[in-house]
């Protein structure tokens, strides 16, 4: 029997959406107020979904304490109350929440193995949600660029 378990976490971080590949005018056009030179912050809500067989011994897909420890070590301690632009993951990437979602997935995927990380969802605001489920996700589209 296969089941999924989702657990939520919160961290606060700042960032500035900016790329040296664009002119200052093009950065402002692409990122609007999120290109503020002083940056801005979010209270990110991260949802981690692990799926797999239910253990006959524990009745769980994954031990909640194990998941909490992995997320705390690899995500919360790294990003909470930090400027995302200063993290090495974003040295060559714009610190969009799309890229953050993929980064969180990749960090957790490696740390949770052999458990199956099914999905990472990050809520940036009450209106903006981002999800990534690994390399099998659809190829990125470049609409409006």
Active site members: 34, 81, 124
The CA distance from 121 to 5, in Å, is: 13
For 34, the token pair is 């999120």
- Report the DSSP pairing between strands 82-83 and 129-132: unpaired
The CA distance from 25 to 11, in Å, is: 31
Q: What is the dihedral of CA 55, 59, 61, 65, to 10 degrees?
A: -110
The CA distance from 32 to 19, in Å, is: 13
CB atoms within 10 A of CB 13: 20
Contact assessment for residue 108 and residue 71, using Cβ atoms and an 8 Å cutoff: yes
């Amino acid at each position: 029997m296969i089941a999924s378990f989702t657990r939520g976490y919160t961290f606060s971080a700042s960032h500035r959406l900016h790329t040296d590949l664009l002119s200052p005018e093009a950065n402002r056009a692409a990122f609007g107020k999120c290109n503020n030179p002083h940056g801005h912050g979010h209270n990110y809500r991260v949802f981690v979904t692990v799926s797999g067989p239910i253990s006959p011994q524990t009745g769980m897909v994954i031990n909640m304490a194990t998941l909490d420890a992995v997320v705390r070590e690899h995500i919360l301690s790294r990003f909470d109350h930090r400027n995302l632009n200063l993290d090495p993951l974003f040295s060559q990437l714009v610190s969009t929440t799309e890229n953050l979602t993929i980064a969180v997935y990749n960090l957790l995927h490696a740390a949770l193995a052999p458990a199956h990380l099914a999905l990472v969802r990050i809520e940036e605001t009450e209106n903006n949600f981002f999800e990534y489920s690994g390399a099998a996700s659809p190829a990125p589209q470049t609409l409006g660029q």
